[in-house]
Each structure stands twice: as C-alpha cells, then as structure tokens.
Structure 1
Amino acid sequence: MHDRSGLASRVFSPDRPGDSPPVLLLHSFASDGAADWVETGVVAALTGAGRTVVVPDLRGHGESPAPTAAHESGARAVAEDIVAVLDGAGVTTFDVVGYSLGARLGWELPEAAPGRVRRAVFGGLSPVEPFAAVDAAALHRAVRDGAEPEDPFTAMIAGMVRSRGERAAGLALCVEGLQGTPFEAAPWGGPTPPVFVVGEDDVMTRGIERIVSLVGGAEPITVPGDHFQVLGGAAFRDTIVRVLGQ
C-alpha cells in the first residue's frame, strides 16, 4: 500500500493475533523491507508469535519513490514518513526493530511519535554518523558521470549505490540528506530502554557502549557475524522475538 507519505509498505497479519501491539520493521541502507525482513524469516517469526508486522520501504528504497531533494531524506523527514505509514495502517502503539540505518532512524521515533513506542530492538547501530565522512559532491559525480571518487570510503558508498541501477541517484540524495542530519544520540525517549544487538565481528558498531550508557548502561547482546551477516542470522531473529515478547 501507499499512504500520504508516498512510501510503499506492507502489513502482515498473524493467523492467531495476540494482545501485543504491531511491530514496525525498518530496513538498512540500499536494501528494502523484503530483503531485510521477509527473506530473512523475521516477518514469519513475528507473525508466528501472534504479532502484526508493518514493513515500509524507506524513501529511495524498494518500491518507494526516490527523493527529489536531499532534505526529503533527512532523519526527521524520514521519521515523519514512517509515522505517516503507521497512521495509514491504523497503528497507534507499536514496537520497533531497526537494523543499521533502520536503527538510526528508529531512534527518532519517540520524538516523532510521542507516547507510541513501546519496545525497541536496534541491530547494527553505528554510534557515529557513517555518512559524515562521505564526499557528497564526489558521490553525485560518481553516480551521474561514473567518475571514481578519490576518497576510498566515498568510493565504497558509490559502488554500493551504483549497484542499485536506476535507484542510484535517489540513494545518493539519501546519503546527502542523512549527512545533513547526523546521528547525535540523545537520551532515549521511550518508556523502555532499547535492546542493542551487535555482531561480534561488526566494526560498524564499535563504540556502541557510549550509546548504551545513555539508556541506563545495559550490556549489548552480542551475536555471531559481521555487519552484513547478523541480519540474516538466527540469533538476531530469535533475539527480536524474545525481547518483544517480554
């Protein structure tokens, strides 16, 4: 479905609904809801546990429209898009699970949707804004003209977005928008501290202890894998179901 935000989203209903609120799943950068959550079995595990699941594609990703300007992909603008998806699905209180970019955006939701977030599970969250180091102008040139960026990190991001074909220009705008609204974690605004899941080989999450300390100092849950392996792993999937079932 598409709501007033214009984002594509799907709602998955369980055969035997329980009393717990729906679960919002937010995917990672240059991916989409199907790849991160349906194909990994997370949606099936949650619906099997009696949960309704809402899976949007972020702007510029999956079946959602590309941004027309960078400001449309700033963190707060995307959070407002996500709230519009929830409103369109008739969801009030909800749990949220986000991975990587999805975790970073999930952090915005207690402010964007006051009083509506119950529990949160964040996997692969970087304690700093990874896109801050991107040369946005060089990234756009790489997408538009094929010019290889001199900076290795920008070149890596360029390769990632160019691999998405016609989605590349929109993804470059997403990077620019997020760069303009860098992640600076304030104390968590929800009623229950988030649960952080980190891969034992995930360099993206190094320093996560600083973020954890803002929400009461709970120890992160460590699971096998690097940044790309955790998402499809059984340990992450099982942790999501267990934590949200508490």
Structure 2
Amino acid sequence: MQDRQGLASRVFPSDHPVDLPPVLLLHGIASDGENDWVAPGTVAALNDAGRTAIVVDLRAHGASPASTSAEEAGAPAQARDILAALDAEGVETFDVAGYSLGARLAWAVAEAAPERVRRAVLGGLSPVEPFTMVDIAALHRAVAEGTQPEDPFTGMIAGMVGSRGPERAPGLALVVEGLAGSPFDPKGWPGQTPPVFVVGQDDMMTNGIERIVGLVDGAELLTVPGDHFGALTGAEFRGIVVRALSR
C-alpha cells in the first residue's frame, strides 16, 4: 500500500511468471478493485497465465482516499495518481485493462504516458462523457441534504453515489464533478499498440462505441454476453483480457 494520500494498490504476482510486463487493472465507478477484478476471477486468470496483476482503487473508492476538489478528481489528475501508484511499485512499462470508468481512465493514462502502455483492453467504455449530463449542484445537494434531484439521470447518479454510504458519497460526487469538467473527447489512441475494445451485447451504455474504435487504426471490437454489469464478470471477458494482453 501507499501512504494515505496516494492510491491504495495491491500486487498479485504469479507463481510461474512469464517475460511480460505487469497488468494494471482499473475498476468502474462506485466499485473497487476487489469487486471488479479479484472476486470475478480476472486476477486469478492472469496469474494462471504467468502475469503479475496490479489492482488500484481509484479516488474515493475502496481503500483510497477521496480528492479534496473536483479538479483533483478529473481525468488528468486521476491519471497522474495512477501513474504515481505504479511508480511506487517500481513499474515502468505495463499492460492495462479497464472497465467503464476504468477504461476511460486507462485512456487518460495512455495520454499522460504513452511510452509506458504496451497493450490495453478497454471494456464497457462509453463513447460520450455521461457525467456532463448531471446537474452537479443538485447532485451535491442530494449527497449533503438527501434532496431528490428533479432530473431523473441526476437522481440515478445520486442513488449510485449514495449507495456507497455517507462517508464515501461526497468524494464520489467530486469524482462525478471532476469527470464532467474533463469530458472524454479522444483524438486517437496514444499507446504503443491499438487497444481491444470489449462491449456487452446488451450494454446500452456503449452504444456508438464504433465511433471511438474508428479513431484507432487496427483496433478490435469484441462483443461478449451480458449488460454493462454482467459483461465484466463473465468468463468471456476474462478470457479476452488474458489473451489480448499475452500477445
């Protein structure tokens, strides 16, 4: 673990390592590394394939502290936090698999340090920044006062943020605000090799992902069973992560 101000990270080495860099795993919003990567078996599958996995909890998630401002919770700042966590573990080059928010931040990490990202799997990536549609003031009121937002989408986000408990909710609301202020607007993949995109066949949040895939020459788009939540935990997704990052 890093100190309290840094991100919490865990390293899972393989008992029979291969000569490939470690795999960074980035979870989704209002989740954590344990629920998205350890419990579904992705870490174990990577270890079985000889890979070391590094599981990071994002700001205000899991064992990591919250930011103190929306700017510190924006995508560029979170990318710097993630790279600092890897620096603390002595990792230079790495592969990355991210899901939903984790995929969005994997892109930001590649923008910040393209020479360090070898291969990537981006699962459940929204082609637009959904948090720009949130009424941020109403979200903060909902967290602080329990006031139900009039806007249904903001209400849904408030419910998701609030579901993590009163201690976590303010920090998660700052994450939403920070991401809304640094919306996803990719111009092209900056990493060393084109990423593999993975979507659930029933995942409405990834509608239009073909536009993002089309920005990257040589990128693959693969479909697995499940909706936005089910696709992540399926064996098909785990298999793609292992195979795509083993090339």
- The corresponding residue for 1:240 is 241
Q: Which amino acid aligns with 2:163?
A: S
Task: Name the Cα RMSD after superposition.
Answer: 1.1
Match of 1:178 in 2: 179
- Give how far 1:185 is off: 1.0
Look up the equivalent residue of 1:24 and give its one-letter code.
L
Letter in 2 for 1:214: L
Residue 49 (str. 1) matches residue 74 (str. 2): no
Once the two structures are superposed, the pairs formed by residues 1-246 of structure 1 within 5 Å of their partners are 1-2=1-2, 6-165=6-165, 166-216=167-217, 218-246=219-247
Give the letter for the 1:170 counterpart.
G
Amino acid at match of 1:132: T
Tell me the distance in 1 between the aligned counterparts of 2:90 and 2:50: 18
Query: In the alignment, is the contact (CA less than 8 A) between 2:129 and 2:184 conserved in 1?
Result: yes
Query: CA offset at residue 114 of structure 1?
Result: 3.4
Asked if structure 1 preserves the Cα contact closer than 8 Å seen for 2:194 and 2:218, the reply is no
1:26 Cα deviation after fit: 0.3
Query: Which letter does structure 1 place at the counterpart of 2:93?
Result: T
Matched residue SS, 2:168: helix
Where 2:211 maps in the other structure, the secondary structure is helix
User: For residues 27 and 225 of structure 1, what CA distance do their matches in structure 2 show?
Assistant: 17
Aligned partners of 1:143 and 1:168 also within 8 Å: yes
Q: CA deviation at 1:122?
A: 0.3
Measured in 2, the distance between the counterparts of 1:218 and 1:113 equals 19
- Give the Å deviation of 1:199: 0.4
Structure 1 residue ranges (4+ consecutive) displaced by more than 4 angstroms after TM superposition? none
Conservation of the 8 A alpha-carbon contact between 2:56 and 2:82: yes
In structure 2, C-alpha distance between the alignment counterparts of 1:211 and 1:4, rounded to whole Å? 36
Q: Secondary structure of the equivalent of 1:170?
A: helix
Query: Partner amino acid for 2:172?
Result: L
Quote the Cα distance in structure 1 between the aligned partners of 2:67 and 2:110. Answer: 24
TM-score (norm 2): 0.97
Measure, in 2, the Cα distance between the counterparts of 1:192 and 1:7: 27
Measure, in 2, the Cα distance between the counterparts of 1:132 and 1:6: 27
Q: CA deviation at 1:218?
A: 3.9
Q: Which amino acid in 1 is paired with 2:162?
A: R
TM-score, L = length of structure 1: 0.98
Deviations 1:84-131, CA, capped at 9 Å, x for gaps = 011001111100000000000000122212311000000000000010
Give the distance between the partners of 2:237 and 2:58, measured in 1 at CA. 21
State the secondary structure of the residue aligned to 1:97: strand
Alignment: residue pair count = 246
The answer to whether the 8 A contact 2:24-2:94 is kept is: yes
Amino acid in structure 2 at the alignment position of 1:242:
R
Instruction: Kindly indicate whether the alpha-carbon contact (under 8 Å) linking 2:93 and 2:117 is maintained by their aligned counterparts in 1.
Output: yes
Q: Partner amino acid for 2:200?
A: G
Distance in 2 of aligned mates of 1:139 and 1:217: 40
Deviation at 1:68, TM superposition (A): 1.1
After TM superposition, give the deviation of residue 2 of structure 1 in Å.
1.1
Does the aligned pair in 2 maintain the 1:5–1:85 contact within 8 Å?
A: no
Distance 2:68 2:4 in 1: 16
CA contact (8 A) 1:4 1:84 kept: no
Cα pair 1:97 1:120 within 8 Å, conserved: yes
